[in-house]
Amino acid sequence: MLEDKNPQRTSLEKLGEFGLIDHLTKNFEIKHKSTLKGIGDDAAVFDHKQQTVLTTDFLIEGVHFDLSYMPLKHLGYKAVMVNLSDVYAMNAKATQITVSLAVSNRFPLEALEELYAGIALASKVYNVDLIGGDTTTSTSGMLISITAVGEAKKEEITYRSGAKPNDLLVVSGDLGAAYMGLQVLEREKEVFKVNPNNQPDLSPYSYIVERQLKPEARKDIAELLKQLDVLPTAMIDISDGLSSEILHLCKNSKVGCNLFEEKIPLDPTVITTCEEFNIDSTMVALSGGEDYELLFTIAQNDFDKIKGNPNLTVIGHMTEPSEGAHLVTRANTKIELTAQGWNSFKSND
């Protein structure tokens, strides 16, 4: 599906491991004072004045990404986003990343340059320093592991465990778009297999395809909440779908939850694409995943501070644990939330 825009192919063997690392990382600048030593020694050194948060994620070809429709530059960008999202979900500021890479010899240098162009763009836009990593070969495919480091004041770090009954449940942005973007890309891949001359017109789906291929972590939300003087009581990022993230908050905070179907924010493209694919848009928001929005709880007293903000939607409230976690449908029936996909969910209907 992707045209080969870069016909030049330089074999990785020509550079050797150290030449490769130097080549890929030479244009990265250190931006943070807290980075004392970045790439080039046995270990990086940093000096945080506050508490440090650290998170790591694996992305594996064929499991987490498909290079037939994922441009490598986007993959590099997304791999950074996935990690930064976890840092922001702690209400922390992301400061440093490491990138570990295993690649088979089917990838030329030019492919890794593309990947690192995406990593460089993400590092610039999100203001993080690349301070190290590891590079090795794989017998098949590509594996990327990124670790992100951040810092935050002790009293500002937001855990999954702080939600109280009656707290409001709030989500940033809108949900389900990344999943529907993936459905469109998968469909076009099948069409392409049958007819390789058919270049798909993805323009009607540009929002949802972009949400799948180039997600943005919500750095702005932690900053916004600080401006509004709101400290969330609990927070998590939405990587696996709203339903499973709500259940994490409930379990860790020992509370229940009522989620209101009519409040779930959906982009119009998600609604029309769900109609086209004959999928229930609520199920997509609940189980779709990869939205990388933030889900958090606030004290009811803070409601006035966030009211009317276009980035934030109140979608429910927390309850006593004995009440359990439920979706309140548009028809005002209550369905128990489950972490699984919609098949098991449907059997509850």
Tokens of 131: 């301070």
- Give the CA count within 13 Å in the CB-facing half-sphere of 102: 11
Annotation-wise, does 98 bind a ligand? no
Residue 59 or 102 with smaller CB distance to Mg ion: 102
CB 286 within 8 A of CB 243: yes
Q: Give the pair of three-digit tokens for residue 29.
A: 């600048």
Partner touching 62 among Mg ion, ligand ADP, none, CB below 5 to 8 Å by kind: none
Contact partners, residue 196, CB within 8 Å, separation at least 6 = none
Residue 95 labelled as part of a binding site? no
- Does position 17 interact with Mg ion (CB under 5 A)? The reply is no
177 token code pair: 């778009």
Task: State the residues that interact with ligand ADP by CB under 6 A.
Answer: 21, 25, 39-42, 99, 101, 130, 132-135
The verdict on whether residue 41 carries a ligand-binding annotation is no
Q: Which residues pair with 319 in a beta bridge?
A: 256
The verdict on 134 binding Mg ion (CB under 5 A) reads yes
CA distance 35 to 50: 14
Q: Is 187 annotated to bind ligand?
A: no
Estimate the crossing angle of helix 219-227 against helix 72-88, to 10 degrees: 30
Name the residue nearer to ligand ADP (CB basis): 119 or 222: 119
Q: Least Å distance between CB 103 and ligand ADP?
A: 10
Residue 160 in marked binding region: yes
Ramachandran class of 229: left when φ > 0, alpha when ψ lies in -120 to 50, beta otherwise: left
Residue 134 is assigned to a ligand binding site: yes
Give kind and range of the element (H or E) at residue 135. Answer: strand 129-137
CB-nearer residue toward ligand ADP: 142 or 339 = 142
Nearest distance in Å: CB 99, ligand ADP? 4
Query: Is 20 or 337 the residue whose CB approaches ligand ADP more closely?
Result: 20
Helix (H, G, I), strand (E, B) or coil at 149: strand
Site map for Mg ion, 92-131, x if CB under 5 A? ----------------------------------------
CB 93 within 8 A of CB 226: no
- The residue nearest ligand ADP at its CB is 132
Assess contact for 277 and 166: CB atoms under 8 A. no
What 8-state DSSP symbol labels residue 174? Answer: -
Q: In terms of CB distance, is 29 or 134 closer to Mg ion?
A: 134
Binding site annotation covers 16?
no
Spatial contact of 46 and 151, defined as CB atoms under 8 Å apart: no
Query: Of the two residues 28 and 260, which places its CB atom closer to ligand ADP in the complex?
Result: 28
Residue 76 binds what, of ligand ADP, Mg ion, none (CB under 5 to 8 Å, by partner type)? none
Question: Which residues make up each annotated binding site for Mg(2+)?
Answer: 42, 55-57, 86, 134, 237, 240
The residues of the shown chain that bind Mg ion, judged by CB under 5 A, are 134
Annotated binding site for substrate: 64, 290, 342
